[in-house]
Amino acid sequence: METPSNEALDFRSEFLRVLRSRRSPEVPLVAECTKPVEDPVFQNDVPSTEALESCPKENINNLKEMLKEENLHLHTEAAEQGRLPLLILSLKENSEERRPAIVFMHGTNTNKEWLRPWLEAYASRGYVAIGLDSRYHGERAGTKTAYRDALISSWKNGDTMPFIFDTVWDLIKLAEYLTQREDIDPKRIGITGISLGGMHAWFAAAADTRYSVTVPLIGVQGFRWAIDNDEWEARVNSIKPLFEEARIDMGKSEIDKEVVEKVWNRIAPGLASQFDSPYSLPVTAPRPLYLLNGAKDPRCPLGGLVVPLERAQKAYEETASPGNFKFVAEDGVGHEVTSFMIKETSDWFDKFLKQGNITSY
């Protein structure tokens, strides 16, 4: 078992301090049964699930009948957004053997129901597959502008962290819940996600060692590097109403790097400094980490990953686990998830969670 480095311990301590700084009172960790969502909320056009549907699955004729479905609300804090909606799929089995589990995170403006093809594929292969709605998405979105409105409110009031950090708090609480379940092996819990969900997976793994294997898809980037090198526009445009509001409040005629930096510092303190990828990726070592991006993704420019990748590789070498770290930028691909990424993710999880290659960290 590897002893966490002082850097990793310091990172987690400071990150948790920031997460707790805008938190409502804690509540008992209780999971309540709820009903399936019949009409899930999409805050933009519904993305294609073609890549998700390419995920390897067992050939089970009556798969849907063989699946156990749980719809739950997990209480993560006292505030209204502290009710975390979960969709959990697993095979109906009489065995008492604990199974590996994987948490799946959706992207901006979608929801856990969109993830269903991905969840079903993993459940068919013996995993406990967990989808959830991130903050102000899905069941947590009262309107189709809920996420945008929350981002703007965070900029104006500074009392919440809807961009990445509040959902990472939920994921820490979710890890606590999953390790208590009798059907899950607490040492074999993975996490993955797409775009915003990839960022959630990246930071959750940095914050909480109970996530033993991590595969962020098209999410990992260098926020500070993007500001310093004027490569921030594509990321900003993905949530542009927030930055337009900040521009107006700052009396600017256009969004510039000063606006970008002030917004990140306000809504996610430390995102472009001490918690950025050069610092948050290395602390995941020696737990298996596979980063998958598009080589032409303007939201995650490769130039911003040079230093983070070097530091991460060094951390894995220093923990005698260089084979536990991998990065691939798929040629010719922009900000999209491909069937190649979905298959690579599947193989990585099977290698470390199903084939006995995971150890205690």
DSSP-derived secondary structure for 48-110: P-HHHHTS-----TTHHHHEEEEEEEEE-SSSGGGEEEEEEEEE-------EEEEEEE--TT-
DSSP-derived secondary structure for 151-173: HHHHHHH-S--TTTHHHHHHHHH
* Closest among 248, 133, 130, 219 to 178, alpha carbons compared: 130
- Determine the Cα–Cα distance for residues 237 and 60; give it in Å rounded to an integer: 42
Q: Is 95 left (phi over 0), alpha (psi -120 to 50) or beta?
A: beta
Per-position b or e across 275-306, b if 16+ CB within 10 A of its CB:
bbbbbbbbbbbbbbbbbbbbeebebbbbebbe
- Determine the Cα–Cα distance for residues 190 and 180; give it in Å rounded to an integer: 15
Q: Report pLDDT for 1.
A: 41
Per-position b or e across 219-231, b if 16+ CB within 10 A of its CB:
bbbbbbbbbeeeb
Cα-Cα-Cα-Cα dihedral sign, residues 150, 276, 357, 331: positive
Question: What tokens were used for 335?
Answer: 């900000």
Tens digit of each residue's pLDDT, the chain (361 residues): 455 689 999 999 999 999 999 999 999 999 999 999 999 999 999 999 999 999 999 999 999 999 999 999 999 999 999 999 999 999 998 788 999 999 999 999 999 999 999 999 999 999 999 999 999 999 999 999 999 999 999 999 999 999 999 999 999 999 999 999 999 999 999 999 999 999 999 999 999 999 999 999 999 999 999 999 999 999 999 999 999 999 999 999 999 999 999 999 999 999 999 999 999 999 999 999 999 999 999 999 999 999 999 999 999 999 999 999 999 999 999 999 999 999 999 999 999 999 666 654 5
- Residue 308's Cβ-count burial label (10 Å; 0-12, 13-18, 19+) is buried
Which DSSP helix (H) or strand (E) runs through 127?
none
- Determine the Cα–Cα distance for residues 153 and 158; give it in Å rounded to an integer: 8
Question: How many Cα atoms sit within 13 Å of 288 on the Cβ side?
Answer: 23
Beta strand 289-294 with 325-330 is parallel
Question: What tokens were used for 348?
Answer: 């990585």
- Residue indicated by tokens 């479905």: 69
Q: Report pLDDT for 358.
A: 62
Q: Report pLDDT for 171.
A: 98
Instruction: Supply angle C-alpha 344, 348, 354, rounded to 5.
Output: 135
Cα-Cα-Cα-Cα dihedral sign, residues 239, 240, 242, 243: positive
Q: Report pLDDT for 93.
A: 83
User: Across the strands, what pairs with 129?
Assistant: 89, 102
Instruction: Look up residue 276 and give its amino acid.
Output: D
